[in-house]
Amino acid sequence: MLKNQVMKLFGIEYPIIQAPMAGGVTTSRLVAAVSNSGGLGMIGAGYLSPEQLREQVKEVRQLTSGYFGVNLFVPNEYRVKEKEVQAALERLHPVRSQLKIQSAEPVLPVYEKDLAIFHEQIQVVIDDKVPVCSFTFGIPSEEVIRALKEQNTILIGTATTVKEAIEVEKRGMDMVVVQGSEAGGHRGDFMEGSNESLIGLMSLIPQTVDSVGIPVIAAGGIMDGRGLMACVCLGAKAVQMGTAFLTCIESGAHPEHKAAILKSTEDKVVLTRAFSGKWARGIQNQFIAGMRGDENTLPEFPVQNALTQVIRKTAAAQNNPEYMSLWSGQSPRLAKSVTVEELIKDIMDEAKTILTAVQ
Amino acid sequence: MLKNQVMKLFGIEYPIIQAPMAGGVTTSRLVAAVSNSGGLGMIGAGYLSPEQLREQVKEVRQLTSGYFGVNLFVPNEYRVKEKEVQAALERLHPVRSQLKIQSAEPVLPVYEKDLAIFHEQIQVVIDDKVPVCSFTFGIPSEEVIRALKEQNTILIGTATTVKEAIEVEKRGMDMVVVQGSEAGGHRGDFMEGSNESLIGLMSLIPQTVDSVGIPVIAAGGIMDGRGLMACVCLGAKAVQMGTAFLTCIESGAHPEHKAAILKSTEDKVVLTRAFSGKWARGIQNQFIAGMRGDENTLPEFPVQNALTQVIRKTAAAQNNPEYMSLWSGQSPRLAKSVTVEELIKDIMDEAKTILTAVQ
């Protein structure tokens, strides 16, 4: 495989990007291991404070001299609806009781505060000259894009439909990650109606490649050399893999989360709004099952996320996977407990074998 | 690409199967053109009477000396719930008025009758020594499988999850079509809970290939050489393409149906139970939009199908796409109005170009 423009821009040997999973998964050790093994490591900074982000960027730089990136959540305006919140809290009460949670009711998020934090995160990316910055849940403002481009930061948008990818290009991003319906974690849709589409990569990659001029990076269900080669055939310049790196030794995912993926099957992976108010894909557990009937009436992101935070934290502390958010893509049968170096070597070896076999 | 076992068994030059679309799409001309162009043509016989099937098999044989196949729907027991039917009829009444339908209320289906017709269809396949027979909505009985195998008919099951594919193999089918969430038309799920999974091909193909010994055929969103090569990389031995053949010159799809696909985009393609009572993927129109709120309370297949038949037929006669079932996979942007021969040539040319490019 010849070096394509994405690999050249990132200075990487293989067209493999580690998905920026938020919530403690992307430890500095994981990010650096990916960059040191020929891929691009990404810090999932969506939930990090500016100080934590600055600290982690420093830490990653001590562990690798390679390129790496940061992913940020673009804040979207939301309204805290008192009635909805009360109903959700009542709905969550039995879970709190079951986990013996004594703490006071959660503090609700404030949009203006989220936006201020986002701008501070951007300032860290600028100050520390982070080489790559990707965005989820939307496209940042013109000012933010201009400021980052002045630093030569490579900008990546996230899209779940061709229309979103076209918008990402129009607004000046350098590349676009297309997130197939197979992907684990939060859906990255940001345009009206996109959320219903749930387009699989077999459809999403070629239709996007035909419609935009910027490089397309594929994400969703890709776990090995077969997935990498398939995405390359469909026209993607690189793949972004989440679940495959989540179960790696270096990942900071909770041991119960890793274990749940390693023993799961494709039909146990479902979409739910119960944890955060935004649709996300993870392994079915008691929490999701219990909230099934309320999926459409829960508060929106990040309100529901704030309401369930103590539940997720307590469940993690109690090693109880039934109330943790066990994000996973649709290919859990292909997950392995290996080092990042082994994973990337296996992927590239398999890709080479396929290339020989299809001749 | 070397000839694989599927191509050898089918005596075909290219690993391309035309999906057996029911409802008049798979004319003898279409089926024969596919077989004459190096692929495998399939008669979508789900809604054909035994007499019609016998007639079409004869017709196809007059147009091609190549292999071809027949697809049948395996009947599943259902109950006609009087209240549900009444509610659905009331729901459909404004649509009937709008289309000026004067006919009496529809005749409801009877499971025992469906089963008798299925056995007669099987008898046609046996009598006429049809070389290939595939099944949707389930796996036929042991007796049926044995009778077909005695005639050396190659049997293909349809699966939407790895678990269903394992069951298809266990019950003695020779191959399995895995239907990704991208696929147009009816979902082929038949095991409890499968319907919720909606697994994309990027996840479904490799996990199935690892779990069964029989050849895996991929279906869903595949439209060109890129899709073919991607599926081969993921481990599929052939692809089954529906929408790509539906818009071909030789297809019997309604001109308004073809036109709707040719101008549609990926985000307009939705899942609905409104037409038949079974989840199916098609282009959003007024009928689907109007039934949105009732999706989960409609009678099951084939009851709802019987209730809407006159609506679909009348809309077709009136050239009104807003009340027809416009089945389509998630890749409508890749659909073309070409002959079958051109389509297959384009696919194979593109596949060869990709093979050279990825070196």
- In DSSP notation, A6-36 reads HHHHHT-SSSEEE---TTTTS-HHHHHHHHH
Confirm if A50 and A117 have CB atoms less than 8 A apart.
Answer: yes
Report pLDDT digits (tens) over B311-331: 999 999 999 999 999 999 999
CB contact under 8 A, B221 and A203: yes
* A180, A223, A358: residue with CB nearest B1: A358
Return the closest-CA partner of residue B180 out of B163, B203, B157, B155.
B203
User: Cα–Cα–Cα angle for A359, B6, B9, nearest 5°?
Assistant: 125
The pLDDT, as a whole number, for residue B2 is 58
pLDDT higher than 60, residue B1: no
Confirm if B125 and B153 have CB atoms less than 8 A apart.
Answer: yes
Give the gap in angstroms from C-alpha A244 to the nearest C-alpha of chain B. 12
Confirm if A251 and A30 have CB atoms less than 8 A apart.
Answer: yes
3-state secondary structure B33-99: HHHHCCCEEEEECCCCCHHHHHHHHHHHHHHCCCCEEEEEECCCCCCCCHHHHHHHHHHHHHHHHHC
Report pLDDT digits (tens) over B9-68: 888 999 999 999 998 999 999 999 999 999 999 999 999 999 999 999 999 999 999 999
For chains A and B, count residue pairs whose Cβ atoms are closer than 8 Å: 170
| DSSP character at residue A166 | H
Report pLDDT digits (tens) over B61-90: 999 999 999 999 999 999 999 999 999 999
Amino acid at B352: K
Q: Please state the φ and ψ torsions of residue A216, each to the nearest 5 degrees.
A: -105, 130
Report the chain A residue with the minimal C-alpha distance to residue B272: A196
Report the chain B residue with the minimal C-alpha distance to residue A194: B267
Return the closest-CA partner of residue A177 out of A211, A207, A145, A136.
A136
pLDDT higher than 60, residue B238: yes
The pLDDT, as a whole number, for residue B4 is 87
The pLDDT, as a whole number, for residue B193 is 79
Q: Which residues of B touch A334 (CB under 8 A)?
A: 206-207, 210
The pLDDT, as a whole number, for residue A2 is 58
The pLDDT, as a whole number, for residue A104 is 80
* B163, B193, B266: residue with CB nearest A199: B266
Give the gap in angstroms from C-alpha A9 to the nearest C-alpha of chain B. 19
Split chain A (359 residues) into runs of 10 and give each run's mean pLDDT. Answer: 81 96 96 98 97 98 97 96 94 96 89 97 98 97 97 97 98 98 97 85 98 98 98 98 98 98 96 96 97 93 96 97 98 98 98 87
Q: Which residues of B touch A4 (CB under 8 A)?
A: none
Q: Which residues of A touch B204 (CB under 8 A)?
A: 266, 330
The pLDDT, as a whole number, for residue B6 is 87
Its pTM stands at 0.97
Query: How many residues in chain B?
Result: 359
Report pLDDT digits (tens) over B262-315: 999 999 999 999 999 999 999 999 999 999 999 989 999 999 999 999 999 999
In this structure, of A245-254, B99-108, B171-180, B262-271, the range with the lowest mean pLDDT score is B99-108
Q: Which residues of A touch B221 (CB under 8 A)?
A: 200, 202-203
Q: Tell me how far apart the alpha carbons of residues A262 and A265 are, in angstroms, rounded to a whole number.
A: 9
* A206 alpha-carbon distance from chain centroid: 22
Q: Which residues of B touch A207 (CB under 8 A)?
A: 266, 331, 333-334
